[in-house]
Each structure stands twice: as structure tokens, then as C-alpha cells.
Amino acid sequence: MASIGSVVKRAFEMVGLELTRADRSPSRTLLGLRHLPIRTIVDVGANTGQFARHIIQFFPQARLFCFEPLAEPFAELQRWAAAQSGRVHVFNVALGAEDGEAQMFRHTEHSASSSLLATTEVCNQLYPQTRAQDNVPVKLTTLDAALGGQSLPPELLIKLDTQGYERQVIAGATETLRQARACIVEANLYKLYDQQPSFIELAVLLNDLGFRYAGNLEQTCSATGEVVYVDAVFLK
């Protein structure tokens, strides 16, 4: 017996119409983000600009503020930003709960996993490339201080990807987060970094600032199929 869907599709084809299924995957809908008039995007933990280059396709009129503390990926980020007609502003600084300096664990074989927190043995086993690392000094400030002199439109999206350091970043970003309509956070479900917050802790911190959990844009799994970390979306 033919399914209802196939019957309806055949009926459309008989009158010269094609019935296609709408792509409602998170990568296309951004879990509701695409329908927000986002005018400013803050990318914390920008690395070479991977997220910025992707998200700007959905919000071509938005201004971007990108933060990356490591010199090598920042140089690539800066080159890309220079070609964006003044829309992208880049800052070579780490963000946390206070101003100062810190030692960063730089992962020499995979800079995107570098962190202000030490990796755990679980992380090293799952991602052996994180074992190759050294320490580099970085400048540290808060997001509220870094953007204090900026006139930000209210339709604000903040992305946090700081390899377990999100608790400290949020502590130094409460005023900016109160202005934001949406926040994307990379949250670890495995303990990959010492003293990292749990997903539940991050959700509570953001809930206290007026956000609700809306789902995951992406999730990365281990070889056995267990979810290791997610890109979680929080909306107001």
C-alpha cells in the first residue's frame, strides 16, 4: 500500500508541481536564530575565524567582534578581517573574569583546542594531538571591559568557545550577556579540561541571565557513539 506522502507527491506531479521537503536541520534553521534580526555578533575564542566566516553568511549586515589570544591563529584571523570592509573587529586578548595576564596551554598540533585550563587524561586519550603543548603568556580582560566603549545594537549574538573556560568568561560578561538575544556555547559533556563547568552549570548560569536552552546546532561523538561536546544554543 502506498504511503500518504507518496500519494500526495504523485498528485502534485500530475499537475506539474514538485513537492520537496523543507530542510529544517539545525545547520539551516540555526534553531530559530535565522529569524532574529541579529546586528552584532561577538565571537569569543575565534581561532582563525572558522565560526565568523560561517555565521556571517546568515547575517551579512552584522558587525563582528572577534577575540583570539594566540598569535598564530590571530594573524590569520586578522588577515581575513582586513578584507571584510571594516565590518569585523579583532582583538588579540583572552577573556575571563578579570583583567590581568595568564599562562595559556597552547596545543601546537591543534590550536583550536588550546585553553587556559589544563587538559585531562580523558581529553588526551580521545584527542591525542592535545598532548603536544607548551605554555605562552596571554593578556586577559573581561568582555564587558573590552566592549565597554562600543555602541552595540540590541540585537546581539554571543558565541563562546573557550575550551572549558566559559564559567570565567560569563562572570566577566554579565552586562553584555544581558543585552544579548542569543548565545551559542560549546559545552563539554566529557571532562576534557580541569575545572571545566558541566553543561548543567552553564545552562543555570545562562538561565539566570534570562536565556533558555533551545537545542544543539552540532554535537561531536566519540568512536563509541557517545556525545563528547555540543554547540548549544540559548535564546531569550
Look at residue 2 in the predicted model and tell me its pLDDT.
53
Number of domains composing the chain: 1
With residue 123 as reference, give the H or E element that holds it: helix 121-126
| 186 contacts 228 by C-beta, under 8 angstroms | no
Phi, psi of 58 (to 5 degrees): -85, -25
Distance CA 221, CA 225 (A): 5
Residue 38's contacts (CB-CB under 8 Å, 6 or more residues apart) are 59, 62, 155, 156, 157, 181, 182
pLDDT band at 15 (very low <50, low <70, confident <90, very high): low
Does some domain include residue 217?
yes
Domain harbouring 180, CATH code: 3.40.50.150
Closest by CA position to 134, among listed 102, 112, 104: 104
pLDDT band at 12 (very low <50, low <70, confident <90, very high): very low
Percent of the chain with pLDDT over 90: 82
pLDDT at 92 over 90: yes
pLDDT band at 30 (very low <50, low <70, confident <90, very high): confident
Got the DSSP string for 203-223? HHHHHHTT-EEEEEEEEEE-T
Closest by CA position to 158, among listed 92, 195, 209, 224: 209
Does some domain include residue 16?
no
Does some domain include residue 156?
yes
Q: What is the mean pLDDT of residues 130-151?
A: 94
pLDDT at 232 over 90: yes
Does some domain include residue 4?
no
pLDDT at 154 over 80: no
pLDDT at 5 over 60: no
- The predicted model scores a pTM of 0.87
pLDDT digits (tens, 9 = 90+) for 165-188: 999 999 999 999 999 999 999 999
Q: What is the mean pLDDT of residues 81-87?
A: 95
Phi, psi of 235 (to 5 degrees): -125, 160
Q: Is 14 exposed, middle or buried (0-12, 13-18, 19+ CB in 10 A)?
A: exposed
Look at residue 152 in the predicted model and tell me its pLDDT.
81
> What is the residue range of 152's domain?
24-235
| 215 contacts 233 by C-beta, under 8 angstroms | yes
Query: Which amino acid appears at position 177 of this protein?
Result: L
Does some domain include residue 5?
no
Does some domain include residue 15?
no
pLDDT at 64 over 90: yes
**8 vs 50, which has greater pLDDT?**
50
Q: Centre a 10 Å sphere on the Cβ of residue 225 and count the other Cβ atoms it contains.
A: 6
